[in-house]
Amino acid sequence: MGTPYYMAPEVWRGEPATRRSDVYALGVVLYELCAGFPPHREVRVKELRRVRSESDAPPLAEVAPKVDPRFAGVVDRCLKREASERFASGEELLDALEQLVPAATGAAIPEGNPYRGLHSFEAEHRALFFGRSGEVRAVVERLRSESFVLVAGDSGTGKSSLCRAGVLPQIEDGGLQEGRAWSIVRLVPGRRPLASLAAVLAPVVKRDDEDALAKQIAGEPDLVCREARKTLGSSAGLVIFVDQLEELLTLSAPEDAGATAMFFARIAAGVPGVRLL
């Protein structure tokens, strides 16, 4: 059972829903966002089962000609009546959508232009990053005494830029004090946050096998923290900068996300010489 206009043909036939059925439903949503209505809207509900079993949805390009034809093709594939012709999963669909992104990027910013527009600031733009010195000082000050500092705000307010072009360069310049030489690792959780975390921590704890380290992070987080503390000693420090933390909820596999969050909680509880931003 489901909402009629979002049900895949096989679901109409009473077959168990699969990930390809979910892809179909998402395709209907994308179609409706572009066209203003779902496919087969002219068909009465009692006729939908027959129509969807006999024909694909009308091509999106025909009802929404201004939509990028490449995107329209992705949506059309989601709506194939034969499940085997659709994307196998949401992950495969995401890969197809991500392939469209490079061609959609804006024109390059002229060299020397101090205005980044919608582009984020990186460490190399620190000389152009101004107007937020008070916020930078506040974050650095909290990192001196707290193991975990969360920079929160609405999308597009410059959280990443604040950290990359403001906070992190100050840390590299000795802003945390404490008599330690602080190094910084940047983590973007992605779909496999444990693997991403293991990749940035392996050099710190002097481990070669990242897969084994990922398993240990998930199963024995205290042991990994002790290794990091021992390796850093009293003269070195580590700042783990998590960029796009929300990916743990929006993109990462649930089991990986849970284990990664537990490791972050362990650091937040306090590990000498380690900070989480």
| 116 occurs within a structural domain | no
| CA 61 vs CA 65, 74, 88, 162, 231: distances in Å | 5, 11, 23, 41, 58
Domains held by the chain: number: 2
For residues 44 and 261, give the distance between their C-alpha atoms in angstroms, rounded to a whole number.
47
Q: Mark whether 145 and 231 lie in a shared domain.
A: yes
Q: Mark whether 183 and 225 lie in a shared domain.
A: yes
| 91 occurs within a structural domain | yes
Q: Mark whether 131 and 258 lie in a shared domain.
A: yes
Which of 71, 103, 135 corresponds to the end of one domain?
Answer: 103
- The whole-angstrom distance between residue 170's C-alpha and the CA centroid of its chain comes to 26
pTM of the model: 0.54
Q: Is 101 helix (H, G, I), strand (E, B) or coil?
A: coil
Contact status, residue 264 vs residue 277, Cβ threshold 8 Å: no
| 115 occurs within a structural domain | no
What contacts 16, CB < 8 A, 6 or more positions away?
Answer: none
Tens digit of each residue's pLDDT, the chain (277 residues): 557 778 888 888 888 888 888 998 898 899 988 888 888 878 887 777 788 878 888 889 998 888 898 999 999 999 888 888 889 888 888 888 888 876 445 555 445 544 444 445 454 444 444 445 677 788 888 888 888 888 776 666 667 777 777 788 878 777 776 678 888 888 888 888 899 899 889 988 888 898 999 999 999 989 998 998 898 888 888 888 888 888 888 888 888 889 999 998 998 888 888 888 8
| 111 occurs within a structural domain | no
Q: Mark whether 128 and 262 lie in a shared domain.
A: yes
| 114 occurs within a structural domain | no
Which of 103, 136, 165 corresponds to the end of one domain?
Answer: 103
Which of 70, 103, 136 corresponds to the end of one domain?
Answer: 103
Q: Mark whether 34 and 80 lie in a shared domain.
A: yes
| 53 occurs within a structural domain | yes
Strands (E), 104-210: 181-187
Q: Mark whether 272 and 178 lie in a shared domain.
A: yes
Both structure tokens of 162: 């604040």
| 113 occurs within a structural domain | no
- Conformation bin of residue 86: beta by default, left when phi > 0, alpha when psi is -120 to 50: beta
**What is the CB neighbour count within 10 angstroms for residue 271?**
19
| Domain range for 264 | 123-276
| 118 occurs within a structural domain | no
Residue 163 is classified by DSSP as: I
State which amino acid sits at residue 121: F
Q: What is the CATH number of the domain that holds 70?
A: 1.10.510.10
